[in-house]
Amino acid sequence: MEIEFFGANCFRVKTKITFLVVDDNLDKLGAKNITRDKDTLLLTNKNLRSEKPVNSAMLVLDTAGEFEIGDVSIKAIRTRGHMDDEEEHNATVYQFRANGTSVVVLGHIHPNLSTDILELVSGTDVLILPVGGNGFTLDVIGAMSVIKQTEPEVVIPSSYNLPNLRYEVPVASLEEFTKASSLSVGDPQDSYKVGDINPELTGQIKVVILNTKKI
């Protein structure tokens, strides 16, 4: 699997035959949507729904279950969102599996992870998680708590301040996360191929920073 970043919590995860897009609400933030008619669109929270990408996608997933999309197996679990009351479960966490590798997209969840989310996330190859805070999503402290609980091999941060996106309230910069994390941070790159880890860093959690891809 290869991962591309488009800003906010919007990613494309792709193989040779499968194209998955996560949280494409970029039109609500002053940017262009990326969803195409061959993409499967996955929403981590229904509050992020934007009708244009929903109408453009081949398939839309926003609920719990197990799915096979092309050569990717998907497991989705409902959980407490960051702004949910304790008994609410308005967020969806996704795990993608292909060719013996795994990617988990957390989305805007509450930092107190349930047992089933811990089991899904722990030891994943790649964990994509927000770091920008603002009351809507995980901040640096919440993100680090999740990382320590789950110990992924690679962390890809999302939902931090970018100059081309207009959030309703300010979000933290990427630098606030990288400085506070004390994790190994590599040079920014245009995309990340899952499993492409420097052997010297095996056993260490590595932060991969993705450049925002232009369309």
Ranges assigned E (strand) in the chain: 2-7, 10-14, 19-22, 40-42, 59-61, 65-69, 72-79, 91-98, 101-105, 126-130, 154-158, 184-185, 192-193, 206-207
| pTM beyond 0.85, yes or no | yes
The separation between CA 156 and the C-alpha centre of its own chain, rounded to angstroms, equals 8
Which of the pair, 169 or 201, is modelled with greater confidence?
Answer: 169
Over the stretch 97-146, which tens digit does the pLDDT of each residue have?
Answer: 999 999 999 999 988 899 999 999 999 999 999 999 987 889 999 999 99
pLDDT more than 70, % of the chain: 96
pLDDT at 35 over 90: yes
Using DSSP, state whether 93 is helix, strand or coil: strand
pLDDT at 198 over 60: no
Confidence tier at 86 by pLDDT (50, 70, 90): confident
Q: What is the pLDDT of residue 199?
A: 46
The per-residue pLDDT of the chain, averaged, comes to: 91
Which of the pair, 202 or 112, is modelled with greater confidence?
Answer: 112
pLDDT at 68 over 50: yes
Confidence tier at 197 by pLDDT (50, 70, 90): low
Confidence tier at 195 by pLDDT (50, 70, 90): confident
Amino acid letter, residue 93? V
Sign of CA dihedral 167, 161, 54, 43: negative
Amino acid letter, residue 71? D
In the chain, the domains with their CATH numbers are 64-207 (3.60.15.10)
Q: What are the backbone dihedrals phi and psi of residue 133, each rounded to the nearest 5 degrees, phi first?
A: 70, -135
Confidence tier at 202 by pLDDT (50, 70, 90): low
| CA dihedral of 39, 114, 139, 3, whole degrees rounded to 10 | -30
